[in-house]
Amino acid sequence: MRRILIDNLAKSYGSLFKIHALFNADLLYTYDSKALQHIVLKDQHIWEEPEDFIIKFGAGLLATLGDHHRKQRKILKPVFSIAHMRDMTPTFYSIGRKLRDSLTKLNESEKEIDMLPWLTLCALELIGQSGFGYSFDTLEIGAPDHRFGHSMKNYTAALNDTALVICRFTIMPIVHTWGSRRFQRAVVDFLPWKALHEVRDMVDVMHSTSVEIFEKTKQVIKEGGIAATERVVGGKDIMSVLVKANMLASEEDRLPDNELIGQVSTLTFAAMDTTSNALARILHLLATHQDVQEKLRKEIREAHFIHGEEPDYENLTALPYLDAICRETLRLHAPVPILTRVATQDAILPLANPIKSTNGRLLHEVLVPQGTSIFISPHHCNRDPAIWGPDATEWKPERWLSPLPESLVEARVPGVYSHLMTFLGGSRSCIGFKFAQLEMKVILSLLVERFQFALGDKKIIWLSNGIGSRLTLHHHHHHHHPQSTAHNVKTPSTFAINRIRAISL
């Protein structure tokens, strides 16, 4: 419903318009490429994350601003480089094989298999091992949920309790700095509010697991030698590299322990539902475009014949059709369709496409008063016909195998990846976009080679509540590690996706 409303507004009012929000506040919504250049690149110091987002994510990379954010990013940047991704590729394959083996076993008895829970568990294990040298899940059938993964999956959904939403936007920005943490905790414990206590318990689990991971990392680094090499990924995980780099950093660049601990939940949140939902969307699209699926399978099998079943980073990322499918899906279905910024001072937003004001004047720029919130839309920028052409709303992987339209080059979309706003741009772009791409390509290469994906008879509705998600109507009851969409190529069978919660950033 929310997506339909915004789509209709964008169609009616163009690339920048005003919405009346809570307490009669004015919100702006834009996907104008020139406005986005100023918001995420040229004037990014003016446009900051809203206070509500900062409160939710503690001391991690998502929740810091300005110089503080740049300082954290400087320490984190090397572990998301191509060189580091190259080292992590065998770990990605190892986890992908576990997923594939469980699906193969499950496929022997199940007619329909729900892929999404499996992809979420796989994404959690990928960030667990390559991020923290820590295993959250064996990816075996019937394995119990890890408390951290369970809390992480339900955290933002729990925050969507109506009363909590109102509290977050009205009371929390005022009171979150009052008193000591002990006092704040006592108040939370005292209030007879079940939804608040559920969030409190999830935060406790996430924090205690983060501390455990951090302390174990420090201990292993201190012991060195065999202890380091026996770590899950041989001491090359993000947290190990991060702690070592922090030890060697100048006093000016060094991060305090609480900020290193804060990266665990931050990186897990950023890496889990976004990538698993993008992968689920690709599998759904492949199920509805069997010709594309078969062409992709042919490319993967040829690559396996030449480079072996596990092509290295360069050979895997160079596969043109696999790359085109990932790019096109991330273009058309950005996992995070809308992001929020707040103007910290009066600002001028120039526009690539002039808009007509309420009094009929043509505006080439707009004055935005300090304190105004603005929704920036990767979703609509990635689908803008003025930039991408008349087929902008169609899923066409082949568009990436031909020269891109001149209108796209001229628009100078400020995205960090392929003229897309999917991973944002500037100093707050998604630091892990290469990690996400590698995960998608490794998992797809392993699954599409072995399984065929086809649609079942359940109606799938895709939701848009912060992170793209979906529900399936008339889904059946399931236990932990429910059935998956994977099916052996030789056995015709069906594809179904069960309900996933709708969550908001």
Binding-site residue ranges: 430
Per-residue buried b or exposed e for 330-342, using 16+ beta carbons within 10 Å of the residue's own CB: bbbbbbbbbbbbb
SS3 annotation, 265-307: HHHHHHHCHHHHHHHHHHHHHHHHCHHHHHHHHHHHHHHHHHH
Quickly list H helices, 349-432.
378-382, 385-388, 406-411
* Crossing angle (nearest 10°) for helices 194-223 and 181-190: 140
- Residues annotated in a binding site for heme: 430
- Distance (Å, whole) CA 361 – CA 363: 6
- Distance (Å, whole) CA 176 – CA 55: 8
Tokens, residue 145:
């949920």
CB atoms within 10 A of CB 505: 18
Chain centroid to Cα 285, Å, comes to 19
Tokens, residue 109:
């008895």
| Residues making up the chain, counted from first to last | 505
> Of the candidates 319, 312, 316, 300, which has an alpha carbon nearest to the alpha carbon of residue 452?
300
How many alpha carbons lie under 13 Å from residue 461 in its C-beta half-sphere? Answer: 15
Q: What angle do CA 447, 151, 271 make, to 5 degrees?
A: 45
Burial of 469 (0-12, 13-18, 19+ CB in 10 A): buried
